Structure 1
Amino acid sequence: MRDFFRRLKRYVQGTILLTLIALFWPQGADFNEMARERHDEDNTLQPNAPLRIGVSWPIAQRGDELINGMRLAINHSLEDQLLDGHAVELIIHDDEGTVQNAQKIATSFADDEEIDLVIGYANDNQAIAAGVIYQSARVLQMVVGAPTTQLATYNHPYLVRTLPTAKDFALKLSNSFDKPIKTFAVVLEKNGYWEEMASQFTIDQIKKGAKRAYFRTFPAELPPDYVRETLEIRNQNVDAILFAGNAVQAARFINKARAMGLTTPILCTTVDLETIEQTVRADTQNVILPGFYDPDAKTPANKRFLSDYLKTYETLPNGWAAQGYDALRLALTAIHESQSQKAADIAWTIRYMPDYKGATGLYRFTKQGDVEDKDVFLRTPRF
């Protein structure tokens, strides 16, 4: 019976992925021809050839810290003699956080024979939509901001993800209590990643003896106003609330719950601390989010990154700056190691790379291109 449900789960996941491919597949581009052209190229890294790297990121929404981190990575890689005389050119596009822009940008990158690597993507739908293009055109997609693990699940050869997994985030949140809790509530946005987070959190808490006393889901396209949810949770008198959803909805829930007098600790699955801080008007006491970067980490990699970022930009880096820095450093290390800039060579070199110590912590990759056992940190929003 367990095998049946495992096969059923894989079938459903496959059906969802095929549906997403059908929905997101852009018309008019001959990706097979693009792939053939890349396959026919000599994979030997030519002396002094420029390295053109695409960047797709919602700059107007999220800021340019990711880009700043990547530029610092270029400087450090030059100092460390990783570039072997090659200039690095970042081809930067603001995708504005939309699927349509992500597809257009991905198509333009795929059509550029000199671009074999693209870094970015801040949300799941963009990463999935662009990923369809990159897999077909044989371009390596390094996903640094979208939390989805669905792409890595299907063994795509031209994919590397650098965010911690849903399991890592969920277990960190579950272990955030000073003492065991007895009851908890879950408010869930229906989305594969958030569901995975909520499931992992629930399983771990039940193993510890806690009981899920309240559970409510809502479709992403039709979120509630959270009045009913707040009232029902208040009546249950739970010890903690897990809000599994995007940052905008998490902020709306926090505002409503606190305005209605609900003081219960709220754990949010989103890593987008900046949006929470900009949007929450209520008291953020007892609000906790997971994070992937600790600026106070005393590791040599982070001390160098933090010090030089401050000198260069005269401000503290955020998590996205660290993500951009680490992603490009990983890629340039792989190019140096493989002496190739072809997507497959870079991807496999990263996947088989020994443990890599970056600004955000230790990187250890699976053969599917996902990072495992990544450090996760807890954060509290502030005004």
Structure 2
Amino acid sequence: MRRKAIAFIAAAALMTMCLASCSRAGSLSQERDQALRKQTGDILVGVAWPFASRNDGFREGLQLALDEINEHGVLGHRLQLIEQDDNNSVTEGLEIAQSFSGNLKLTAVIGHRSSAVTVPAAQDYDHAGLLLLAPSSTAPALTASGMERVIRLIPNDKQIGSAMAKFAFAQGYRHAAIFYTNDEYGRGLANAFEDEAERNGTQIVDRVSDYKDLNDLRRLADKWKLLGCDAVFVAESMPEGAALISDLRKAGVEAPILGGDGLDSAALAETAGEAAEQAVVASIFDPTDKADAVQQFVRRYKDRYGAEPGKMAAQGYDALQLLAYALTKAGTREPSKLAETLKGTKSWQGVAGLHSFDGQGDVSGMPIILKRLEGGKFHYLP
């Protein structure tokens, strides 16, 4: 009886703590909505990104959108960005998340770049009632936990991994190996590729997440040849992905390289050189698309910055334009209403394609584009 009583008391205490936490989260969300409902002046938006180390045109895309939006304003006011550099660090990202979450004047946050940072930071934002627009984080865990104010602006790892496995099958590859980084991004992408490969009849002959040196890779190369490996799927980000591909070629791996969106960077050719030739990677933006919205964006970006926009520039631009759309559509800066508006949005046209959102906040219907590296440059596949 005594043990049962102690267990009951412990369970009751745990339940009380959970209820208190949920109640506090609810009060914070309501407090933010109430404060923003009455707020006048600039609409404040936090941006968390590794600007110094992995910007890739993201800030430029944001700034282009900001200037366009502020020409006319939103709800009679201007947007104002509060930028913070998270250095692609979980620790620094969480510090920024706590700072943003404590600022009741903030309406939304755009960021972070890495899923490893965004997934834990999203908990803070949702708890504080902030809307989070995630333009780069593809880990399924981001939207799987039922958070109410998280909106993902890029296909998730399941969608991208599945698309790459279908491409592998269409190319006639039937015995693939997977090399992945052991983090949120790498595991999710590798799992999705493997699941779709099994469904369509492509055999996964090996799955590896680490190697010691070139000798280690040479042993792998010999093993893969014996197993008839005819493609290697790399679930890795840059710049580590380029180094891995270079080492694979040095070790004697001759099979075609396929990769997720983490390898979608001009730095792939610059870093890996000849080793990356003919690699096919996934992307979500095609600057050669003839659609008016895309060509206007490309032209304005080139005129201003003297370079062609890449994926991250497009994502920065679309993230802010989508927020402006939600503000106008909802008629308020309350995050709860903005999230509700976005989750009901179908076929919003961004420069990276049409965006529709489901009840979890995941984007659907957005095109996944394939690119092949030839002559040191990416060429878009039909």
TM-score (norm 2): 0.83
Compute the displacement of 1:65 (Å): 1.6
Q: Is the 8 A contact 2:46 2:82 kept in 1?
A: yes
Q: Residue 321 of structure 2: which of 325, 329, 337 is its match?
A: 329
State yes or no: 1:352 paired with 2:344.
yes
Q: Is the 8 A contact 2:229 2:255 kept in 1?
A: yes
Aligned pairs for 1:65-104 (under 5 A) are 65-78=57-70, 81=72, 83-104=74-95
1:43 matched to which residue of 2?
Answer: 37
Q: Is the 8 A contact 1:187 1:243 kept in 2?
A: yes
2:12 matched to which residue of 1?
Answer: none
5+ residue gaps, structure 2:
1-23, 378-382
1:304 matched to which residue of 2?
Answer: 296
Aligned residue for 2:287, secondary structure, equals coil
Aligned residue for 2:221, secondary structure, equals helix
1:264 matched to which residue of 2?
Answer: 255
Q: Is the 8 A contact 1:116 1:342 kept in 2?
A: yes
Q: Is the 8 A contact 1:61 1:96 kept in 2?
A: yes
1:9 matched to which residue of 2?
Answer: none
Q: Residue 362 of structure 1: which of 330, 339, 354 is its match?
A: 354
Q: Residue 271 of structure 2: which of 259, 268, 279 is its match?
A: 279
Q: Quick one: which amino acid aligns to residue 266 of structure 1? A: I
Q: Is the 8 A contact 2:56 2:310 kept in 1?
A: no
Of 281-290 and 65-74, deviating more is 281-290
Q: Quick one: which amino acid aligns to residue 176 of structure 2? A: F
Change (3 A) 1:154 1:315: same
State yes or no: 1:176 paired with 2:167.
yes
Aligned length, in residue pairs: 347
Aligned residue for 2:94, secondary structure, equals helix
Q: Is the 8 A contact 1:38 1:138 kept in 2?
A: yes
2:219 matched to which residue of 1?
Answer: 228
What percent of counterpart residues are identical?
Answer: 24
Change (3 A) 1:37 1:233: same
User: 1:319-355 CA deviation, whole Å, 9 max, x = no partner?
Assistant: 1110011011111110011111121111111111231
Q: Residue 199 of structure 1: which of 176, 191, 198 is its match?
A: 191
User: 1:76-102 CA deviation, whole Å, 9 max, x = no partner?
Assistant: 3345x5624311111111111111111
User: 1:193-238 CA deviation, whole Å, 9 max, x = no partner?
Assistant: 43343333334334433322x21233xxx65433433332233232
Q: Distance in 2 between matches of 1:372 and 1:186?
A: 26
Of 59-68 and 132-141, deviating more is 59-68
Q: Is the 8 A contact 2:100 2:106 kept in 1?
A: yes
Compute the displacement of 1:45 (Å): 6.7
Of 137-146 and 318-327, deviating more is 137-146
Of 333-342 and 225-234, deviating more is 225-234
Compute the displacement of 1:191 (Å): 3.7
State yes or no: 1:111 paired with 2:102.
yes
Q: Quick one: which amino acid aligns to residue 265 of structure 1? A: P
Change (3 A) 1:248 1:316: closer
Q: Quick one: which amino acid aligns to residue 298 of structure 1? A: K
Compute the displacement of 1:259 (Å): 1.2
Change (3 A) 1:32 1:202: closer
User: 1:25-45 CA deviation, whole Å, 9 max, x = no partner?
Assistant: xxxxx9777545314326267
Q: Distance in 2 between matches of 1:64 and 1:193?
A: 19
2:17 matched to which residue of 1?
Answer: none
State yes or no: 1:120 paired with 2:111.
yes
Aligned residue for 2:37, secondary structure, equals coil
Q: Quick one: which amino acid aligns to residue 88 of structure 2? A: G
Aligned residue for 1:122, secondary structure, equals coil
Compute the displacement of 1:190 (Å): 3.5
User: 1:122-173 CA deviation, whole Å, 9 max, x = no partner?
Assistant: 1112102211211111111111112212121112012111111223212332
Change (3 A) 1:34 1:64: farther
Q: Is the 8 A contact 1:284 1:380 kept in 2?
A: no
Q: Quick one: which amino acid aligns to residue 121 of structure 1? A: H
State yes or no: 1:189 paired with 2:181.
yes
Change (3 A) 1:96 1:343: same
User: 1:253-276 CA deviation, whole Å, 9 max, x = no partner?
Assistant: 211121133221011124343353
Aligned residue for 1:175, secondary structure, equals helix
State yes or no: 1:238 paired with 2:229.
yes
Q: Distance in 2 between matches of 1:206 and 1:131?
A: 32
Q: Distance in 2 between matches of 1:44 and 1:353?
A: 25
Q: Residue 54 of structure 2: which of 55, 62, 68 is its match?
A: 62
Q: Distance in 2 between matches of 1:324 and 1:128?
A: 19
5+ residue gaps, structure 1:
1-29
1:209 matched to which residue of 2?
Answer: 201
